[in-house]
Amino acid sequence: MATDRVIDRLSTWDDDLRKPFGRFHFVRQAAQAAIDAFESGKKAVVLEGAPLTGKTNALKSFSVLTDVLEPKFAMLFVKASMAHSSLFERLADVLTSELGWEIEGKDARTWLRRFASKAEGPTLVVAVDGVAKGSLVAKELETFAESGFGDRLKFLVTTESADDVLMSGRDVSALAEAAVSFRMSPLTDDEFHQSRASLGKDGVGFDRGAELSRVHRLPWILRAELAQIPRNIPYGREIRLPASIGVELVWYARERLKGLAYIQRPLREIARALVNGATKKSEALVLGQIGGFAVPIDDLDSNGRAAMGTLVADGWAREYRHAGGEDVVMPTVPELFMAELCDVVSRELEARIDDPAAAARWLSDTCAGLFLGDVIGAQAIIDCGLRLGSFPQLLIVKLLEDRPEVRTMGAALIAMTLRDGSLMHLKIGEDGSITPSDRSGNAIGRTIPPTPGEGPGQTYGALTSWSILAHLTRRPMASGPELSDRVDLALIMELGTCPFPLLHVSNEPMGVMVHDLGDHGETLAREHALADPVTMSMRHLFAREWEQMDDFISAMLAEDSLVLMVRVHNALHALEDSSNIELSGWASGRLSSTVLPEIERLMEMPAHSAGGAVEEE
């Protein structure tokens, strides 16, 4: 079919970044929702969402799902961004290719109407990807709907906002009367678990704890990670993706950028605007920038606007009206933008390095407001050190002094982003009660009283500095030739004493198993342990240098830290099923002979009572 050829043309097996479909495909729930809507009588379905939420891939999912329903549905796939003149001219091109004789736009329109009036046969679904507000394609859809179309014709449309195609000025359009819309978002828990099952059949898995990372729910992150997977995985072997995203993503992106030199400078100009932007931001954009790369266009200088023009024209960026009302530019291949952003942050850091305390404050404050800011900060330190030719040791000391802390929550009004991009405000009372509110703190829902006996709620603060250092330890670092000169080992030992996990949880409420260690703190349970970047760094270190690690483990034992020992335990346990028999044997031996006895000793110390695994929301 024509759709199959279009999808094949838009697919890549060697990770061509210009094409929307990668080697692996995950079926999106929105595709099944569209099928259900069509079967219930709807004539049009609109999939809306911000750039990079997977709208185009949902169209491929629709094609995959309807293949098993033949002859119930037939699908024609059209890229609206390619239809510069007319949707029907683009359809005519598709039909000309399929039928083998020349068809004009007016003939395609007539053919559609005749097909729609047929009494029998499959339903034709015209999938139109990327309809922009006010475009000729949007107007043609409205005109077609106004004159009516029969039961055998449906439209499946993707756009950034459903109102762009369902509203005609201030009025509801004719298309809206027969349409329903669904908002695309990052992968749900069900979609993520289904993607894991699908990848498992191809020999690709995730480290335990990946389900706790909201970052893994972003389609572009999954594609960037999977692009690093070899084409042919030996039978019976499994390649595992890390539970937490690290600096490896930046290294991979920089390799890809070597072949795309002409976009490096434009991406860097946009990155500078993100780091140095001075315009006041809405709370929606402040929260949105923690979950993705969105640069206010008002922050762009003349060079930045020229760069934006280049990137948008070539498809490397999109202009978008953010939920907060700001016009922003968003990179369409974010990992490449992230690689340039790391360079910008590192150069700003280098300019401040003579005052380590001020440099550390600037880095922590800047990265706290960036998506994957801890990874960006870690790579910025690496880049800065490489240019200086020396390790910025005083900067590390100042970052270490900015220790994470447990904070008691008092009265507050907090905002959070929901999966659909909207904001929710919660008013926290002095007694720990929670009330849904508007942005001014006025109650709009029922107050949830505090649980008797639990006291005020707690939250974790000042995480950024230590999170940056945790990701920094993914790379070996040394100030001299001896093991005692290893900076990464010293950092792991110190960071491993953090009394709570340094992780971001899923974007939906979910149970997280932790070990409550009483006065010591808490750590992730073994099932989720590698989501903690400190534990992940330990696992990488032990796997890479296990033959030289006995003295280091002995040094950690001397710290008398239960949370440190539990992290060591979880890192070693993750290596017990290694395909390297010597490595797995070493890990098991250290667990049984050293680590587990030490954990038992520390837990029996009367000054530090401990409990079992508990479930937290």
Tokens representing 605?
Answer: 């110390």
Instruction: Delineate the domains of the chain, giving CATH numbers in brackets.
Output: 2-183 (3.40.50.300), 213-229+475-617 (no CATH), 408-459 (no CATH)
Predicted pLDDT of residue 82: 56
Using one digit for the tens of pLDDT, what is the confidence trace for 569-615? 999 999 998 889 999 999 999 999 999 999 999 988 754 443 333 34
Rounded Cα distance between 178 and 195, Å, is 32
Residue of 582, 583, 556 whose CA lies nearest to 568:
556
Per-residue pLDDT of 415-448, as tens digits, reads 777 766 677 888 888 777 888 888 888 888 888 8
Q: What is the CA radius of gyration of the chain?
A: 27
Alpha carbon separation from 107 to 12, 139, 294 (Å, rounded) = 33, 18, 42
The Cα–Cα gap between 269 and 382 comes to: 21
Q: Of 207-216, 346-355, 503-512, where does mean pLDDT reach its minimum?
A: 503-512
Strand spans (E) along 119-197: 123-129, 153-159, 167-168, 171-172, 179-183
Element (H, E) at 73: strand 73-79
Query: Is 6 a residue whose pLDDT tops 70?
Result: no
pLDDT of residue 61: 93
| Bond prior to 219 in cis (omega within 30° of 0) | no
User: For 451-460, what is each residue's pLDDT tens digit?
Assistant: 776 666 677 7
Q: What does pLDDT average to over the chain?
A: 86
Higher pLDDT residue, 286 or 254? 254
- Structure tokens of 112? 């559609």
The half-sphere exposure of 247 on its side-chain side, counting CA atoms within 13 A, is 23
The residue type found at 431 is: D
8 A C-beta contact, residue 353 and residue 359: yes
State how far the Cα of 408 lies from the Cα of 425, in Å rounded to an integer. 19
Please state, in angstroms and rounded to a whole number, the distance separating the CA atoms of residues 302 and 489.
45
Share of the chain above pLDDT 90, in %: 46
pLDDT at 234: 77
DSSP at 117 = T
Q: State the pLDDT confidence band at 164, using cuts at 50, 70 and 90.
A: confident
Which residues lie across from 46 on neighbouring strands? 157, 181
More confident residue, 537 or 418: 537
Instruction: Give residues with Cβ within 8 angstroms of 187, minimum separation 6.
Output: 26, 54, 195, 216, 217, 218, 219, 222
* Percent of the chain with pLDDT strictly greater than 70: 90
Lowest mean pLDDT among 77-86, 276-285, 435-444: 77-86
Identity of residue 488: D
**What pLDDT shows up at residue 3?**
61
Question: What contacts 24+ positions apart, CB below 8 Å, involve 287-291?
Answer: 287/415, 287/416, 287/417, 287/423, 288/322, 288/323, 288/324, 288/417, 288/421, 289/369, 289/370, 289/371, 290/369, 290/370, 290/371, 290/373, 291/214, 291/371, 291/417, 291/507
pLDDT of residue 373: 94
Helix/strand/coil (H/E/C) assignment for every residue in 471-500 = HHCCCCCECCCCHHHEHHHHHHHHHCCCCC
Give the highest mean pLDDT range of 135-149, 161-175, 528-542.
528-542
pLDDT band at 482 (very low <50, low <70, confident <90, very high): confident
Grade residue 311 by pLDDT with cuts at 50, 70 and 90: very high
CA-to-CA separations, 313 to 266, 301, 593, in angstroms, rounded: 12, 18, 62
pLDDT tens figures, 168-215: 777 788 888 889 999 998 898 899 999 999 999 889 999 988 888 888
Global pTM value: 0.88
Phi (first) and psi of residue 223, to 5 degrees: -65, -40
| Cβ 422 vs Cβ 416: under 8 Å | no
Mean pLDDT across 547-562: 94
Inter-residue contact 75 to 63 (CB < 8 Å): yes
For the segment 138-159, the average pLDDT, to the nearest whole number, is 84
Output the pLDDT for position 576.
94
Evaluate whether 545 touches 488 at the Cβ level (below 8 Å).
no
Residues in the chain: 617
**In degrees, to the nearest 5, what angle opens at C-alpha 597 toward C-alphas 591 and 602?**
120
Residue 210 and residue 193 in contact, taking contact as beta carbons nearer than 8 Å: no
Q: Residue 486's beta-bridge partner residues? A: 478
pLDDT at 420: 63
* pLDDT exceeds 90 at position 406: no
Structure tokens at 69: 């329903």
Token pair, residue 292, equals: 């993705």
pLDDT (0 to 100) of residue 384: 95
> What pLDDT is recorded for position 80?
81
Question: Cα 11–16–22 angle (5° rounding)?
Answer: 40
Output the CA torsion 539→545→547→549 (10° steps): -60
Q: Which residues contact 32 (CB under 8 A, 6 or more apart)?
A: 65
Instruction: Give the per-residue pLDDT at 401.
Output: 96
Section 49-75 average pLDDT: 86
Residue 255: the pLDDT is 92
260 pLDDT higher than 80: yes
Per-residue buried b or exposed e for 73-106, using 16+ beta carbons within 10 Å of the residue's own CB:
bbbbbbbbeebeebbbbbbbbbbbeeeeeebebe
Which parts of 234-341 are beta strand (E)?
239-241, 295-296, 317-321, 327-331
**Confidence class for position 509, pLDDT limits 50, 70, 90:** very low
Q: What is the pLDDT of residue 69?
A: 64
pLDDT for the residue 506: 40
Closest of 159, 125, 148, 143 to residue 39, by C-alpha: 125
Distance CA 149, CA 391 (A): 68
Residue with tokens 């569209």: 34
Residue 517 — very low, low, confident or very high, per pLDDT cuts 50/70/90?
confident
Q: How far apart are CA 377 and CA 341, in angstroms?
A: 10
